[in-house]
Amino acid sequence: MTGGSAIAGLGELPLGSPALRADLPDRYLRMLRDPGAIAVYLAQVTGVRAGGGDGGLVAGLGESGLGEPVVAGVGQALSRTFRWATLHKSMRPGDGRLPNGFWDGLMATGPKLTRELPLTPEDSRRLRESFGELELGDGDRTLDALLAAYNIDGRELSFLFGPWDGDLEDFAEVGRVLIESPVTGGARALLEFRDATLGLDQVAQPLTFAGTGDGEGGDDLKDKPLPLAKGTVRFVSPPVEDSASDMRRAADRAFELLGAYDGAKALDVAGDWPSYAALKAATRGVAGSGADIEAGEIGTCLAEGWVRPGGQVFNALTLDIRCGATTLSGMALSALDDAGYGETARDSASWLEIDWGGGESGLYVSSDERLSTADLLDRITAAGDAWWGTDRRSLIVAGRLYDPDTLTAHLTLTSSDVATAKRDRYYAPRKSQTVTYARCYTPLSENQIATGATDVRKTFARQALRQVQPTFDTIASRHPQAFDAAAIAGLFDSQADALSLAQTRGTLWSRWWRSWWILAGRRGFEAKLGRCIAVEHPDLGRYSGRRFLVVGEQLTGSAAAILLRIARPIEK
């Protein structure tokens, strides 16, 4: 498809999305619905010449595109894209993306990838993914060892699916993985895979204190990460970077100060300085002394994440701060930006689905804790009772689980579309769920609570445990300092939002659930994880024709079928 928008397949779109999609070709959708069409998997990866250089490697048969000369003894390029298919295939001269393109060889089978949603509130919010190995053959069936001459370990391999007689633009991407430990040589190659979003498992706080002073902390902070804040967080305790000057690092980036307190007594803001050096050079003194920052005041360097009290802190210095977006989706997208996964690597619109209520949210990671970006996304999506992972286009996506009986089925699979339906497992009711709502606070004794503090401040400063008991659920907010030195905020700043989420969780998980695996034909590719479909099949018994959530999928290696895992509440 070279222009315009393709008509969306049933079950293709999230609720409320427009009916047109430009990312799925018309030929692809027609192939899914035509039982006589021949489908094929394609795989492609770009390798880099082993040892570099630009000469010395003899061209193998099939090295050049059709119609291009193959000159023996001519050195090959520094990088080369390898392509394989489940059926012999070459591209036509008029292909808009790969005219006369040649596919190097055959895959022994198609890809075997499994992706499953978390189906209980206790599970990690990240999709569970597993990858099978892939056996490849050279195009000329001779021992030219071309693939072995290129480094492909750790490179991205993309799987495409589409009509055998179609152009490359008629294919849809159905998976992307990283190659791990390839075994190459001779006429065969064996590839193993790992998750293409492996970078999300790296530490989310890449900057650490060097321990050299002058903004880098002392020995007590050496090699510890800078505190990280997202959204609105309250009652956070910034680490002391320099005890002599009482410089404290509030966040690893620019922030907005909403309030500063000594115990429960509010501190006035003396001013904002443009840099760490300027704030450190400011004078301090008792109240009325005329110093830049007097006792009972606090100075800030908002642009670089610093604060400095004007005098001795008698109880505990805590801050209410805001860093960037205060919605769950905004915090998650900011974390992805920090990790280098920008707009082209994610489906930002899908993340809007995790937002909950109208209150603000926040997340704070102290210098005593190291979290990966995946850990941050887990906490954020857990606060929205949501899930996250990668879709078939290898974009990072998010969504939420719903009772399928409250949704409209966007796809109906009948007995002609489903070969078998097998029971998978039961999920017992959860009568109690914990939902944290965020007032990150420092527990204080009664004599540390100053007069003149707000009632809210006093309440949260006194209590180490706060509970609301709706139907089915307990909402608890507890500062981790009560049992852990790491100061971590909860996520909701609104008790009403947390209560609403708790009640929704109670409604969703207070019943028995059951899941099934169904072997579907090509129409099953129109079903998407997290979406609602109707399934008619005698093996489903009394649930035949009912609505289900798609909670898992497995590419079986066959271009004719896909395994779908479906689930719904049941009467028991």
Domain ranges of the chain: 38-196, 406-429+510-569
- The percent of the chain in helix, strand and coil, each rounded to the nearest 5, is 15, 35, 50
Q: Closest Cα to residue 41, out of 98, 113, 93, 94?
A: 113
Given this model, what pLDDT does residue 72 score? 40
For 550, residues 6+ apart whose C-beta sits below 8 A from its C-beta are: 11, 527, 528, 529, 530, 531, 532, 533, 564, 565, 566
Contact 520, 527 (CB under 8 A): yes
For 314, residues 6+ apart whose C-beta sits below 8 A from its C-beta are: 262, 263
DSSP 174: E
Given this model, what pLDDT does residue 457 score? 55
pLDDT (tens place) for every residue of the chain, 572 residues total: 333 333 333 333 333 333 333 456 788 989 998 888 999 999 999 888 765 444 444 433 344 433 344 344 444 457 888 888 998 888 888 888 888 887 778 888 889 999 999 988 778 889 998 888 888 876 554 434 567 778 888 888 999 999 998 888 899 888 888 898 888 766 677 888 888 888 899 889 888 888 888 888 888 898 899 999 999 887 788 989 888 899 999 999 999 999 998 877 889 999 999 999 999 999 999 999 999 999 999 999 999 999 999 988 887 788 889 999 999 999 999 999 999 999 999 999 999 999 887 778 888 888 888 889 999 998 888 877 789 999 888 899 999 989 999 999 999 999 999 999 999 999 888 766 556 554 444 444 444 455 545 555 555 544 433 333 333 344 443 333 322 222 223 466 666 777 777 777 777 888 899 999 999 999 999 999 999 999 999 999 999 999 999 999 999 989 999 999 999 999 87
Given this model, what pLDDT does residue 570 score? 93
Contact 127, 113 (CB under 8 A): no
Q: Look-up: residue for tokens 């609105």?
A: 232
> Is-above-0.85 flag for pTM?
no
Given this model, what pLDDT does residue 49 score? 77
Given this model, what pLDDT does residue 468 score? 37
3-class SS at 234? strand
Given this model, what pLDDT does residue 146 score? 65
Q: Which two tokens stand for residue 142?
A: 């001779």
User: What are the φ and ψ backbone dihedral angles of 392, each rounded to 5 degrees?
Assistant: -65, -20
- Rounded-to-10 torsion of CA 128, 134, 139, 142: 160
Q: Which two tokens stand for residue 430?
A: 């959860």
For residue 251, count CB atoms less than 10 angstroms from its CB and return exposed for 0-12, middle for 13-18, buried for 19 or more: buried
For 72, residues 6+ apart whose C-beta sits below 8 A from its C-beta are: 58, 59
